[in-house]
Amino acid sequence: MGRGTPAIGAKAALLQVLIRGEGYGLELIDRVREATNGELVLGQGSVYPALRDLEREGMVESYEGPPLPERGGRPRIYYRITAAGQRAALDDRQQVAGLFGFLVPLNGRA
């Protein structure tokens, strides 16, 4: 995880940023780092397995974006949170509030 990181798992962190909008792996890494002011820095070695686990658990779903020339014609894989993932993120919101500096909105309200 990151330097002196509190005990929050990659899956919980990813759900917190995904509840605010879909994204692809490297973008999600940046969003977690930005949302936590650098307190939580996830590596690719933890993010991609966590995203696969979250998808297998029904918390997120993935889809392919358009092929990109800068990726040799390969598409990016995007992830979006499901209703089950939203419930899990809301259940974790008190635990992560200090790290993320916010509470995940409940029905659009903090």
Q: From the first residue on, what is the mean pLDDT of each consecutive set of 10 residues in the chain (110 residues)? A: 55 93 96 89 93 97 95 95 94 72 48
pLDDT for the residue 92: 82
Classify residue 96 as exposed, middle or buried by CB count within 10 Å of its CB (0-12, 13-18, 19+).
buried
The torsion angles phi and psi of 83, rounded to 5 degrees, stand at -60, -40
The answer as to whether 48 is a domain residue is yes
Tell whether 21 is covered by a domain. Answer: yes
Quick one: DSSP state of residue 98? H
Q: Any idea what DSSP says for residue 80?
A: E
Domain, as residue range, for 51: 10-63+71-96
In a domain, 101, yes or no: no
pLDDT of residue 4: 40
List the structure tokens of 82. 């499901």
Domain with 17 in it: what CATH number?
A: 1.10.10.10
